[in-house]
Amino acid sequence: MPCRLYNQAIIASSFLFLTACTTLGPDYQEPNVAWLQDWEPSAYATATNPPAQTQTDLSFWWELYNDPALNQLMDEAKQENLQLRVAGLRIFESMALLGIAESNLYPQIQQVGGAVNYVNNQYHGGRPSRGDQSFNTYNLNFNLGWELDFWGRFQRSIESADATFFTSVANQQDMQVLISAQVADLYFAYRTTEARIAIAHSNAKIQKRSYEITSTLFRNGEKSELDLQQAKTQYLSTLSTIPELEASLVKIRNAFAALLARPPGEMPELNTKDYQLPPLSSESINNIPANLLNRRPDIRAAAWQVAAQSAQIGIAESDYYPAISLLGTIGWSGNDLSNSAEVGTAAAGPSFKWNIFDYGRIENNVRVQDVRLQQLIESYQNSVLQAAKEVDDAAVSIQKTTEQKALLDQAVVSSARALDIANIRYREGYADFQRVLDAQRSLFAQTERQLLTHGSHITAVISLYKGLGGGWNETPVEKIIPDSTRTTMQERTDWGDLLTPPQANSPINSAQESSQDE
């Protein structure tokens, strides 16, 4: 009978063990954006050629401008930008945190301890049974504690840390997108400002010629001083715009230098004579599928944040149940007193602890984790909406600046012809000088608007590629941070093989494969 009860107890315990080993909390499901599958920017509906719904490699979209200087600066920014380095270092931080989470699957306590003590007993008063004594004691022990992952607490912690690692990879890729867009924006802002300065000098040259003519006519008594002063005012007013533009040029250059981790100063790559802005292309929004939105690194990062938080619910729910551990100790102690024995100790067995009264703490913690998950899901939905807005805004801007530029091209031609006619009629005495001034102002304004619209078109193209998440690629671990930084970190701390090129089953390779699958 006792044997039968013993066997039944073993069977019951085994059943309890098997049924208890479970993973609490919801399994991650990526938030669904129902409208994204069939959505496309409104400008696509009126595009000459509909965009092809195929995967497009946007990793090096700036090469469509065929500008060696831009390509060189883009490569340097990807290597030297400090914000990008910080994003890369966060990948290594998340790898180390993932290692901490994984270590909890193994015995959490593995401690060796020991002590040597000198003891001196002195007796005062009374009738001690023996005299004063001095002796040494010593002990050595090894303690082991292993909390078993009955409820999936540690497994969920690993899932959360793993998702955080993938988030850091996606954030580094998103930083590549931002840096690519910033480099292109600053590059063409610099070129546009250069062109504006050139236009101002060109118009000032025209106005200076009018000023010289009116000066001569005034000195000869053929025209009034009013013409002279009006010509002088317009000429000086145009000249006054140049210092402001030159200051803007230096500020853009300084911002560019900071992006490349350079101190403020000259940038030889920008010293190009007679630079011409790239022509507007009617193909800018063609062959770019809108469904690339779900590959944007920032959206992938938002999805991984949802995954990391989803696992936190299971971690919180595990507090409802007892923590079951296996404990063990091996020890040895003794002293140098005569006739005293040395003691060896060995103990092992299970233990549990269970907070049976928590007054709603655990329940409310689960609620906190759940509402944080829902917040991240809503943030994910908002990220997709904002991404779609960016793409739609950029596509419309591309389309409309193309139309606007075509009209301004005609306006510039008409303004130049009007100026020629006004000068002829003024010289022949058929029109006053005010007509010449008006024609000069119109030509200056239309020429600058033409240039600014051209620049706005380029900015819109950059925004479109940024909105689609273009400009990133998988970065090998040896290129995430420069060799000098890697060497410094290895000398300061033992990083093992985390800073070296990964093996096939490493987290970084897994992250790259995941990015490609998506």
For 92, residues 6+ apart whose C-beta sits below 8 A from its C-beta are: 480, 481, 495, 498, 499
List CB contacts of 462: < 8 A, sequence separation 6 or more.
181, 184, 185, 188
Instruction: Say if residues 137 and 341 touch (Cβ distance below 8 Å).
Output: no
Burial of residue 190 (CB within 10 Å: 0-12, 13-18, 19+) is: buried
Q: Give this prediction's pTM.
A: 0.84
| Contact present, 295 and 474 (Cβ < 8 Å) | no
Predicted confidence (pLDDT) per residue in 142-168, tens digit: 988 888 888 888 899 999 999 999 999
Instruction: Please give the average per-residue pLDDT across 7-26, as a whole number.
Output: 56
| Beta strands 109-121; 133-147: pairing state | antiparallel
How far apart CA 375 and CA 373 sit, in angstroms, is 5
Handedness of CA 388, 391, 394, 400 (dihedral sign): negative
Range 131-135 average pLDDT? 75
Rounded percentage of the chain residues whose pLDDT exceeds 90: 41
CA gap 222, 210 in Å, rounded = 15
Average pLDDT over residues 21-34: 84
| Cβ(461)–Cβ(398) below 8 Å | yes
Residues forming a β-bridge with 335 = 137
d(CA 25, CA 152): 9
Length of the chain equals 518
| Better-scored residue on pLDDT, 307 or 281 | 307
pLDDT in tens, 425-482: 888 878 888 888 889 899 999 999 999 999 999 999 999 999 989 899 888 888 888 8
Residue 19 has pLDDT above 60, yes or no: no
Query: d(Cα 165, Cα 515) in Å, to the nearest integer?
Result: 13
Res 65 pLDDT > 80: yes
CB–CB of 333/137 below 8 Å?
A: yes
The pLDDT value recorded for residue 510 is 52
Output the DSSP codes for 276-298.
-PPPP-TTTTTT--GGGGGG-HH
DSSP secondary structure of 106-156: S-SEEEEEEEEEEEEE---SS--SS--EEEEEEEEEEEEEEE--TTSHHHH
**Distance between CA 11 and CA 240 in Å, rounded?**
94
User: 40-49, 110-119, 199-208 — which is least confidently predicted?
Assistant: 40-49
| Helices 153-219, 225-259: inter-axial angle, 10-degree rounding | 160
The span from the CA of 226 to the CA of 333, in Å, is: 112
Our measurement of the distance from residue 463's CA atom to the centroid of its chain's CA atoms, rounded to an integer in Å, reads 16
Q: What is the pLDDT of residue 120?
A: 80
**Sheet of 109-121, strand order:** 109-121, 133-147, 323-335, 343-353
Q: Which residues of 479-496 are buried (b: 16+ CB within 10 A; e: fewer)?
A: ebbeeeebeebeeeeeee
Q: What is the mean pLDDT of residues 6-28?
A: 58
Q: Assign 309 a pLDDT band (cuts: 50, 70, 90).
A: very high
Q: What is the pLDDT of residue 10?
A: 44
Please determine, for residue 403, whether its predicted confidence score (pLDDT) is greater than 80.
yes
Q: What mean pLDDT do residues 80-105 have?
A: 92
What is the reported pLDDT for 285?
Answer: 60
Phi/psi of residue 85, each to 5°? -65, -40
Q: Which tokens belong to 339?
A: 């006739």
For the chain, list the domains and their CATH numbers.
22-107+151-322+360-473 (1.20.1600.10)
Token pair of 515 as six digits: 């990015």
- The C-alpha R_g of the chain, in whole angstroms, comes to 38
Strands 323-335 and 343-353: antiparallel
Q: Using alpha carbons only, give the angle 381, 384, 388 rounded to the nearest 5 degrees.
A: 140
- What are the tens digits of pLDDT across the range 210-238? 888 888 888 887 778 888 888 889 899 99
In angstroms, the CA 158 to CA 105 distance is: 9
Cβ contacts of residue 394 below 8 Å, gap of 6+?
460, 461, 463, 464, 466, 467
H or E stretch covering 15: helix 2-20
